[in-house]
Structure 1
Amino acid sequence: MAGTSAGLAILGDYYYAPSRQGLLSSEILNDPFHPNTQDIYRSNFLQVPFLKDVITDTHLDRCNDNHPETRYGRIFGFMARIMVTENQPVYGIGLEEGAFVAIDEKGIAQVFGNDSEQGQDAYFLQTNSATPEQIKPDLPLIWDRNGRAVKVYRIQGTPSGSGLFDLNNWLTASGGTWEYWFTTGGYSGFRQERIR
């Protein structure tokens, strides 16, 4: 299995399919119940065993005249909403513009890049089972947990494929780096920090 844009979105257990203007990172981080967040769905189309409880998002690094913000905060916000709504841990897979993820029959993911100047990275996100400190309508999301709200493995893709990530346990990984993503308050408080 492999996918980039919509091809990845339909593989996730959860997906975002906006009926109007697409959601911005600032919108969901500054108000996790923003009107544009109402189009988060659980799939009844494909059920991929290795992607149970996973939301996917693409074009994370896209930023231009038509897309004023990157989407890193958006997938983070999706995870917060799903975790609270479903009352369970949630996972995420996010791709930059020039990357795609291939998953073999054993649930091992590898990251490929299109060898362009666009971002080539894929991100495998997992919650640490600690819910956001603040997630209410009209208030900024606070999901800090001492700077460890979401643990992320980042792999830079190459044309021949790079890195390995085991979707069976979300722990076994190689060829990339671990990060933590968190927000101390809304969009302005969102951070991505590499684990030293």
Structure 2
Amino acid sequence: MSVGMLVLTVVAVLIFFGVLQRVLDRLHLTDRMALLLVAAMFVGTLLPNVTLGKVSVSLGGAVIPLGICVYLLIKADTGRERVRSLIGAVLTGAAVYGLSVLLPDEPEQMFIDPNLVYGLAGGVIAWLLGRSRRGAFICGVVGVILADVITACVNWRNGVDQQLVLGGAGIADTVVISGVLAVLLAELIGEITERIVRKRKERNNA
């Protein structure tokens, strides 16, 4: 089982036992909706990619995660949050692409899977830029996919004839790790910040 699928399995278990209820509430998702989406992503990664010319798209690794992002954009509280999320996604994509340029081309030259590095980096950057739980997830998912698009466009411009694979194989892991990590960081830091503010108010009122 890949890292991304392992993460999805853990997320499904946490959802089932109600551990992520607060996070789901912030994302405007019910337990049932979240479990169905996780299951759809899991199954979707096992299905053949949909190929259109030079573009190949994974249902579980790209279509469903992007669909969730569209839903979250629609559910965003303000237009400002939507704009910030989209700008953050572009910046996350640029950062992940820059990281891919700096890291060795051959995975064998690294002690860790590059896709895992991209996912972790994308998650942290997405949290920094997205701020809210919804924004963080959007930045994490869309940013990683945009980085793939940028890479393909650069290669095509340089005369390299290759297919653009969105959310396939290791990239699906990167998308999952980036999106989930971004949301968890936003939730963790948000919870810590809220507790600090609450304690300060209690002290001031004492």
TM-score by length of 1: 0.25
By percentage of residues, which structure has more strand?
A: 1
Higher relative contact order (CA 8 A, sep 6+): 2
TM-score by length of 2: 0.24
By percentage of residues, which structure has more helix?
A: 2
